[in-house]
Amino acid sequence: MDDVQEDEGAGRWTRARRSADRRPWLGVVLVTVVVPILIGAAVILIGGRPLGFEIIRRLTVRKFPELRWVDRAELARWREDPGRAQPLVLDARTSPEYQVSRLRDAVWINPLRPSLHPLAKLPKDAPIVVYSSVGYRGARVANWLAGQGYRNVQNLEGGIFQWANEGRPVFRDDRPIVEVHRYDQRWGLLLVPRYRSDVPDVVTPFKAP
């Protein structure tokens, strides 16, 4: 009797193992998609979105310690001040993200292969503000521009996500809208739900937007 039970137990274990072997993708999905989403949701539920943005900013500062930053309120005041030289605002996201919405008059720059074409004839001391979804890609492009000799480059804290979360305007074809590209499901948790655009996720080699 014991031998029969052992054989049945071994059979069940073998069938379960074979079933797992036939689904190797399941572990990959759990590690790369489900777990990060759950972690992101937990951070937002426990500490709120401000904590998430602060963690991202600190990690980005560690990566680019020489980078200068501008916060959303300061940029908003700057752009409404006719007495100040206005910055060139560069959108360092992918083209599909840029097409959904952007900051007013923002010029697109490719975050994967940035070039100086959008800065044609711009003096090296002209003010430039770069932004991305949450700040990492913007920091990377801003750091690259500084390496090209541009001396007055700043990265927008919190990117377009935090800008929109605070109710600041975003535009498509020069008209204000409320949608922002979420980047993907995980990072989109940092956007207030009403601003998330229902569009396909971005696929890039960047770990952060």
Average pLDDT in the chain: 85
State whether the Cα torsion 192-197-198-202 is positive or negative: negative
> What are 40-52's pLDDT values in tens digits?
554 554 457 899 8
> What are 151-202's pLDDT values in tens digits?
999 999 999 999 999 999 999 999 999 999 999 998 999 999 999 999 999 9
Q: Is it the case that residue 34 has pLDDT exceeding 70?
A: no
State residue 22's pLDDT score.
53
- Residues 6 or more apart whose CB falls under 8 angstroms from that of 130 comprise 89, 90, 92, 109, 138, 139, 141, 142, 145, 153, 154, 155, 156
Structural domains of the chain ordered from first start: 55-197 (3.40.250.10)
Q: Which residue has the tokens 């074809």?
A: 173
CA distance 25 to 104: 42
State residue 92's pLDDT score.
98
CA distance 59 to 182: 20
Q: Binning pLDDT at 50, 70 and 90, where does residue 33 land?
A: very low
Q: Is it the case that residue 32 has pLDDT exceeding 80?
A: no
Please answer whether residues 148 and 64 qualify as being in contact, where contact means their C-beta atoms are separated by less than 8 angstroms. Answer: no
pTM: 0.79
Q: Binning pLDDT at 50, 70 and 90, where does residue 21 land?
A: low
CA distance 182 to 36: 15
- Residues 6 or more apart whose CB falls under 8 angstroms from that of 24 comprise none
CA distance 197 to 100: 8
Count the neighbouring beta carbons within 10 Å of the beta carbon of residue 129: 25
The better pLDDT of the pair 7, 60 is held by 60
CA distance 137 to 94: 10
> What are 87-143's pLDDT values in tens digits?
999 999 999 999 999 999 999 999 999 999 999 989 999 999 999 999 999 999 999
> What are 74-85's pLDDT values in tens digits?
999 999 999 999
CA distance 167 to 207: 27
